[in-house]
Amino acid sequence: MDSDLAARVTAHPLWYHTIELTPGVVTPGWFDLRPIVDRMPWPDVAGKRCLDIGTWDGFLAFELERRGALEVVATDIASHAEWDHLPRQRAEAIAFHEEKVGEKGAGFLLAAEALGSKVQREWISIYELSPERLGRFDIVVCGSLLLHLRSPFQALAAVRSVCNGVFLSSEQIDIALTLLSPRRAAFYLEGDAGRWMIPNAMGHLRMLEVAGFDILRHSRTYSIPFGPAHPRWPNSIRAQTVSLMKRLVTRSRGSDGVPHSAALCRPAIGEVDQIAVSLD
């Protein structure tokens, strides 16, 4: 084990992703995508120009690289103040991120260095994506981001503008609404902890279709496991009920995680290039 690297990993205040950097050195992330990454409906990325949106520590960007992408660009916002913070929680949320998360993007740099990665990072919001800024991409990937956005359809319009091939979208879903309304789109207005609106599984697909994408295929519902750094919830009756619903929907024994669905789609042929959506 690389003791110097292990010490640097430990010194980093908060890891979002669990990433194996070298044998024996694994970042203690809030979430661990390793057990579920192959359940996502990946396209063939070999030799393709790829984009990972909202990369944070870079797990999906490094996964694209591992799968043989010719070029990978990873985008993120440049400061904690650029999140779409809920108005009543804005000051508190910024203070939390500055204290607990530390320097924006430092984890990505450390991981990229340890992995010998050539992923190119760009500081740009999902709303500001455009062919003029970054060009177009064969494959675009975005994970667990739409629920944190005030204007998800505006964001999807920007994604569509840079997608020259296919878009892989993995998003958190509301487990109760997925059970109650499996064939009809439904949405839960969260309004807490940086989360705005969470769809059921069908709602996720319909969001993509309304935004001008055609669904090619999609995954079964799955749960992204909590990583070692994630806070554990009290074992209340409510927690046990949610755990049972997770097992029913994800068809898995494990329940300690966040339910997601993933879809592979492409820009609809003959549709307009942009969808003008503004909630301002």
149-158, 205-214, 250-259, 266-275: least confidently modelled range: 266-275
Looking up tokens 């929907």, which residue turns up? 249
| Confidence category of residue 193, pLDDT binned at 50, 70, 90 | confident
In a domain, 276, yes or no: no
In a domain, 167, yes or no: yes
Q: Which residues pair with 223 in a beta bridge?
A: 259
In a domain, 260, yes or no: yes
**CATH number of the domain within which 123 lies:** 3.40.50.150
In a domain, 133, yes or no: yes
Give residue 124's domain range. Answer: 3-267
User: Residue 246 pLDDT more than 80?
Assistant: no
In a domain, 279, yes or no: no
Q: What is the pTM of this model?
A: 0.90
Q: How many domains does the chain have?
A: 1
Per-residue pLDDT of 131-150, as tens digits, reads: 999 999 999 999 999 999 99
Per-residue pLDDT of 149-159, as tens digits, reads: 999 999 999 99
In a domain, 108, yes or no: yes
206-209 long-range Cβ contacts below 8 angstroms, 24+ apart: 207/146, 207/152, 207/153, 207/156, 208/156, 208/167, 208/169, 208/263, 208/265
